Structure 1
Amino acid sequence: MTTPDRRPSAPDPSASASRDRVYRSPSGLAAGVLLLGIVLWLGIDALVRGHGHTPWLALAGMLLMVPLVVAFTLRPAVFANEERLRIRNPFRIVVLPWGALASLRSHYSNEAVAASGTKYQLWAVPVSLRARKKATRQPVKPAAGDRRGTGLAARLGGAPGGPAPDPVPNGPTRAQTDRIIDDLRELAESHGASETAQGEPTVRWAYEVIAPAAAGAVLLAILLSVW
C-alpha cells in the first residue's frame, strides 16, 4: 500500500511571472484623500446642521462630487504583466495585449498607441516637465558598488598589476514617470511576440463611476430648478 506524497508541490513559475505590476500617482492619491475629506466633511455637516433645502442640496452635491473625485484621483492606475497592459482611466478601462501595442509615447502626456492608431492616455502616469528638468540637472553619480570598489582599491594601494579602475557612471538621471514608461517599453519588447500576448484591444466604460455621478447631477439640476 502506497502512502500519499505529502511534500509541498513546487511553486508554479508562471503564476508569479504573470503577476501585475501596478503604477499609480502618489500625488493623485494624496490629493484624492484630501479632497474626499473636504467634500465629506462639508457635506455631512450640511446634512446634520442644515435647514430647509440645504440637506437635499448637500446630498445631491456629494452624490455628484464623490464619484468624480474618486474617478480623477484614486481610480487611475496602470497594470502590466507578461501578457497585457491594462489602463484604468477615470471613465474607461482599456486592455491592450502587448501584441496589439504599437508604441508608448511620452511628450506632454504619456500615451499607449494601439496598432490601429488609437491613442489611450495613461492618467495614472502623468508627465511632469518640472520633474524632468530637475532630473536632468542632477549630476551623474557612479553606482554604489563602483564607489565601494574604488575606495577599497585605493585603500589597498590599487589593484594588482595596474591602477584602480575608474568608476562607471549610471547614466543620465530620469524622472519617475519616464522610468515607468521605460519599464513598460521593456515589457512590450520582451513579450510582444509571445502567443499569450496576442489579441485585440478591449475598452469598457466605468458605469460604476458614471452612474452615481450622473444621478447626482440630475438630482442637483432638479433641485435647483424647482427651488
Structure 2
Amino acid sequence: MTTPDHPSPASPPPASAAKDRIYRSPLGLAGGVLLLLVVLWLGFDALFKGHGRTPWLALAGMILIVPLVIAFTLRPAVFASEDRLRVRNPFRVVTLPWGEVASLRSGYSNEVVAASGTKYQLWAVPVSLRARNKAARRQQRAAAEDAAGGAAPAGRGGVLGPSGTGLGGFTLRAPDTGPTRAETDQIMDDLRELLERRREAESAQGEVTVRWAYEVAAPAVAGAVLLGILLAVG
C-alpha cells in the first residue's frame, strides 16, 4: 500500500537570493535633491505667476530638465549580488553575470570591462582624486609613524613642550585614524573580491544584457520638442 507523500520542509534560499549590495554617490544624491528643489521652485513660480508664453516655457523647461537631473544624480546605482553585477547608469541598465566580467578598472573613472571587451562606466562610483590623494598621504604617514615607533613629532617647545606634556622638546600628535583607501577605491576592491570569488560559479554564468531607460529619455525628448516648438513660433 502506498502512503501519501509528505511535503518536504522548505529549503533555504540560494545564495543568489541574498540581498544586493547597493552602491550610490552620496554627493550625487544630495546635489540632485538640491537641483530639483531649485528647478521646481523656479519652474512653478514662473508657471503660476508668469504671463504670456512664460508658463508654457516653464512647463516645457521642467519636462526637459527634471528627468535629466534625476538621470544624472538620483538614478545611478550599482547593484552587486552573488551572481551578477547590475549597473544603472543615466540612460541604460547593464546586467553582467560575474562569469562575463573580464575586469574592474580604476583610473580617472571606474568601469567594468565585459569579456567581449566592451567597457561600461560606473556612474554611481565616481573617482575622487582629492580623496585618493588624501588617503595616500594618510597611508604614507601611517607607514612613517610605524617605522618611527608609533609617534611623530608635531612641534618644538620647551623642555617639556609648550603644554608640559611633550618629551625632549616635542609634543605627541594624536594618531590619524582616517581611512588609508579612498571610499570609491575600497568599493572597487570589494567588487573585485566578489568577482574573483564568484566568476566560476555555475549560477554566475549567462549573457550581458543592456536595457535603455526610455522612462527617462522619453520625457526629456518630449520636453525638448515642446521647448523647441515654443521658441520657434516666437
**Does the TM-score normalized on the shorter chain lie above 0.5?**
yes
- Give the structure with higher Rg (CA): 2
Report if the CA contact (8 A) 2:110-2:127 is conserved. Answer: yes
Of all paired residues, the percent bearing the same amino acid is 73
Aligned-residue CA RMSD in angstroms? Answer: 2.1
Q: 1:128 to 1:32 in 2, by over 3 A?
A: same
Paired residue for 1:134? Answer: 134
Q: How does 1:90-169 map to 2 (within 5 A)?
A: 90-138=90-138, 139-140=141-142
Deviations 1:24-81 (A, max 9, x none): 0000000000000000000000011000000000000000000000000000000001
Aligned residues: 192
Once residues 93 and 16 of structure 2 are traced to their aligned partners in structure 1, the CA distance between those partners, rounded to angstroms, is 23
What displacement does 1:140 show?
2.7
- Quote how far apart the aligned CAs of 1:219 are: 0.2
SS in structure 1 opposite 2:85? strand
Q: Paired residue for 1:200, among 199, 207, 210? A: 207
Tell me, what secondary structure is at the counterpart of 1:86? strand
Unmatched 5+ stretches in structure 2? 1-8, 146-176
Task: List, as ranges, runs of 4+ consecutive aligned residues in structure 1 with deviation greater than 3 Å.
Answer: none
After TM superposition, the structure 1 = structure 2 runs for residues 35-74 of structure 1, keeping only pairs within 5 Å, are 35-74=35-74
Deviation of the 1:14 alpha carbon: 2.4
2:163: which partner in 1? none
1:78 match: 78
Instruction: Give the match for residue 160 of structure 1.
Output: none
8 A contact 1:91–1:210 mirrored in 2: yes
Give TM-score scaled by structure 2 length: 0.78
Deviations 1:64-104 (A, max 9, x none): 00000000000000000100000000001000000000000
Contact 2:78 2:86 (8 Å CA) reproduced: yes
Matched residue type, 2:195: A
Contact 2:98 2:199 in 1 (8 A): yes
Asked whether the equivalents of residues 91 and 212 of structure 2 are also in contact (C-alpha less than 8 Å), the reply is yes
Structure-2 separation of matches of 1:218 and 1:18: 44
For 1:80 and 1:119, how far apart are their aligned partners in 2?
A: 17
Q: What is the aligned partner in structure 2 of residue 163 from structure 1?
A: none
Counterpart residue type for residue 81 of structure 1? S
One-letter amino acid matched to 1:83:
D
